Structure 1
Amino acid sequence: MADKHTGKCFCGAVEIEVSGAPEAMGYCHCSSCRSWSAGPVNAFTLWKPDAVKVTKGKEFIGKFMKTPVSDRQYCTKCGGHVMTDHPPLGLTDVYAATLPSLGFKPGVHVNYAETVLRMKDGLPKLKDFPKEFGGSGESVPE
């Protein structure tokens, strides 16, 4: 895996760079992520905040914080979603689709109890979040 990956919003006004390896990759099935991503599931890559940097267009980043857990960031020019800071977790989610050169290797499904799209891929399916992130850590059937 390359040491650095770059991505951008839909129009290219905002560019980001991640370095190193993500802490985790997977899918979130919660209703908030589904609504925000306009899809039945959201593919995430989680990074330590110091591994993520905006390299262009910082002035075009808008934010929406529905809950204290997720500070969602998007481009104010095109509306393209870029990333979500998770302050209580000490992680930043850069959407998998935003990083085209990153080999997406999901390891888990979170909030699978809320799914609207069953995915039979053999990966662990968690009812909500891992215990380390304040969830039950409980697995549910595929």
Structure 2
Amino acid sequence: MSSNKSYSGKCFCGAVEIAVNGEPAAMGYCHCDSCREWSAGPINAFSLWPPEAVRVTKGAEHIRSYQKSEKSVRKWCEICGGHLLTEHPLWAVTDVYAAIIPTLDFQPMLHVNYGNTVLHMTDGLPKQKDMPAEMGGSGVLLPD
């Protein structure tokens, strides 16, 4: 990906649109309980961006937020309930859900919180038990 690339995405109904610029800091899969419960799925495909690379281009007035812990502020469209992104202030990144950026060449690098998985995946990617050490986790890798 080129650093001057721009991608757009939208919620389920299209009332809210976002744009991301540059390259994601990381892409992968999260298996934590919180992401699974929020997404109503067995994993969350994430793309992490510097907060300044993410902007709302339409429908900001329709965005609602929920903060369950100091780690995450989850955002969605109030009209359709479509999930948009999660701000992670402790790590200074914003997770724009990979599924809402259709032109992003999603290339996952790792799995995080794999110790909590309910969907085992044999894909050769590193599987962090929790989080990488540089993000405050143990850095322990689990077998594929």
Q: Which residue of 1 aligns with 2:85?
A: 83
Q: Which residue of 1 aligns with 2:58?
A: 56
Superposed counterparts of 1:26-41, under 5 Å: 26-41=28-43
Q: CA deviation at 1:33?
A: 0.3
- Taking the aligned partners of 1:33 and 1:122, their CA distance within structure 2 comes to 22
Q: Mark the runs of 5 or more structure 2 residues left unpaired by the alignment.
A: none
Q: Which residue of 2 aligns with 1:15?
A: 17
- Taking the aligned partners of 1:99 and 1:23, their CA distance within structure 2 comes to 15
Superposed counterparts of 1:75-114, under 5 Å: 75-114=77-116
TM-score in terms of structure 1 length: 0.98
- Taking the aligned partners of 1:132 and 1:56, their CA distance within structure 2 comes to 34
Q: CA deviation at 1:130?
A: 0.6
Pair 1:132 & 2:134 matched: yes
Pair 1:119 & 2:109 matched: no
AA aligned opposite 2:67: M
Structure 1's consecutive aligned runs of 4 or more residues displaced over 2 angstroms after TM superposition are none
RMSD between aligned residues: 0.7
Q: CA deviation at 1:51?
A: 0.3
Q: CA deviation at 1:141?
A: 1.1
Q: Please give the per-residue CA displacement for 1:109-128, whole angstroms capped at 9, x wherever unaligned.
A: 00000000000000000000
- Taking the aligned partners of 1:18 and 1:41, their CA distance within structure 2 comes to 22
Aligned residues: 142
Q: Please give the per-residue CA displacement for 1:64-108, whole angstroms capped at 9, x wherever unaligned.
A: 000010000000111000000000000000000010000000000
Identity rate of aligned residues, in percent? 61
- Taking the aligned partners of 1:5 and 1:60, their CA distance within structure 2 comes to 20
AA aligned opposite 2:142: V
Q: Which residue of 2 aligns with 1:42?
A: 44
AA aligned opposite 1:128: D
- Taking the aligned partners of 1:68 and 1:12, their CA distance within structure 2 comes to 29
Q: Mark the runs of 5 or more structure 1 residues left unpaired by the alignment.
A: none
TM-score in terms of structure 2 length: 0.97
AA aligned opposite 2:122: K
- Taking the aligned partners of 1:87 and 1:60, their CA distance within structure 2 comes to 22
